[in-house]
Amino acid sequence: MINFDKIVNKLSKKEWKILTIYEIWSILDPDFRKLNEKNITSVYKLIYRLKACNMIIPIKNSIYFINNKKNHRNIDIIDNFYWKILKKIISEYCSNDFIIWNLKALELNLKDYSIPSEIIIYNKELNKSILLSQTNKIIFKKLSPWKKNLWVNIFTKFKTFTKKIKISWIIFTVADEELSILDSLLIRNNSEKINIYQVDKFLKKYSNFLSREKMWKLVSMKYITSINRLKELSKKYWYHSLYIDCLDIIKIEWWNCFLT
């Protein structure tokens, strides 16, 4: 163990970093082992003292911002360090096995890095909601198969339809253009609505670059309704080549599947 002043000195060199309780614990105890909780009382006492002297600010679920005695408000920390906080929370719960999906994936493909009020993280095992603040929610959803024959490697199947996007030097796995547009056109319940503005903005940029082969593979797994909606939108907004691709997928591969 090292004394409190030395811990403060070590943490001061990590100013503006996001650390878990275990990472702070490892500073307190160089022989730290994550599953060995014999010194857990000492760690909680340390955390209490560090909070009291404004060295750290709790964010959520044993994750802390190294404040270094500066005057930061919790809400400002979330606004300024959102993506760093998000990656830390994701790493704690699902390591690298995650995909950012739904509307935020569509926006990220458009290089819109604004902070979402809600972000959905698909993963292999976890269903959980984390409220970062009154205006920021992280939703973890376990990616489960919807057909009996898809039980094998469903997460692995969808991970082939992803890309890496770097935000503030932090890398995230995000649904690619084909997956994000088809998923954005899927209505899961009666309260959901399609964000036509974002969809049209996306199609203006990518309508001529979407892979017909990728869309066909996605439709074969899930997105029959979405491809019909995409067909109607591409017809309405005059995205002719995309309209033809959608028709081919529907008429040839999927035997005139219709909108439901």
**pLDDT tens track for 29-71:** 766 666 566 667 788 888 999 999 999 999 987 899 998 888 8
Of residues 145 and 237, which shows the higher confidence score?
Answer: 237
For residues 106 and 202, the answer to whether their CB atoms sit within 8 Å is: yes
Residue 15 and residue 58 in one domain: yes
Q: Is residue 100 part of a domain?
A: yes
Residue 128 has pLDDT above 80, yes or no: yes
Say how far apart CA 177 and CA 209 lie, in whole Å. Answer: 9
Phi and psi for 11 in degrees, rounded to 5?
-70, -30
Confidence of residue 147 (pLDDT cuts 50, 70, 90): low
Residue 199 and residue 152 in one domain: no
**Whole-number average pLDDT of the chain:** 88
Weakest-pLDDT range from 33-37, 89-93, 128-132, 219-223 = 33-37
CB count within 10 Å of CB 154 equals 17
Residue 54 and residue 118 in one domain: no
CATH number at residue 39: 1.10.10
Residue 171 and residue 199 in one domain: no
Residue 99 and residue 168 in one domain: yes
In this prediction the pTM is: 0.87
Residue 259 has pLDDT above 50, yes or no: no
Residue 252 and residue 181 in one domain: yes
Q: Is residue 78 part of a domain?
A: no
Q: Domain span at residue 43?
A: 4-72
Which residues on adjacent β-strands are paired with residue 136?
133
Q: Is residue 60 part of a domain?
A: yes
The tally of CA atoms less than 13 A away on the side-chain side of residue 246 is 25
Weakest-pLDDT range from 73-77, 131-135, 193-197 = 73-77
Question: What DSSP string runs through the chain?
Answer: ---HHHHHHHHHTTTT-EEEHHHHHHHH-TT--TT--TTHHHHHHHHHHHHHTTSEEEEETTEEEE-TT----HHHHHHHHHHHHHHHHHHHHHTT-EEE-HHHHHHHHTT--PPPSEEEEEESS--EEEEEETTEEEEEEE---SSGGG-TTHHHHHHTTEEEEEETTEEEEEE-HHHHHHHHT---STT----HHHHHHHHHHHTTT--HHHHHHHHHHT-HHHHHHHHHHHHHTT-HHHHHHHHHIIIIISTT----
Residue 210 and residue 158 in one domain: no
Residue 171 and residue 192 in one domain: no
Q: Is residue 108 part of a domain?
A: yes
Residue 106 and residue 67 in one domain: no
- For position 187, what pLDDT does the model report? 83
Q: Is residue 84 part of a domain?
A: no
Q: What is the dihedral of CA 92, 98, 100, 102, to 10 degrees?
A: -120
- For position 260, what pLDDT does the model report? 39
For residues 63 and 77, the answer to whether their CB atoms sit within 8 Å is: no
Residue 212 and residue 226 in one domain: yes
**pLDDT tens track for 160-213:** 999 999 998 999 999 999 999 999 999 877 777 899 999 999 999 999 999 999
Residue 216 and residue 256 in one domain: yes
Total domain count for the chain?
Answer: 3
- For position 140, what pLDDT does the model report? 96
- For position 115, what pLDDT does the model report? 96
Residue 193 and residue 247 in one domain: yes
Q: Is residue 77 part of a domain?
A: no
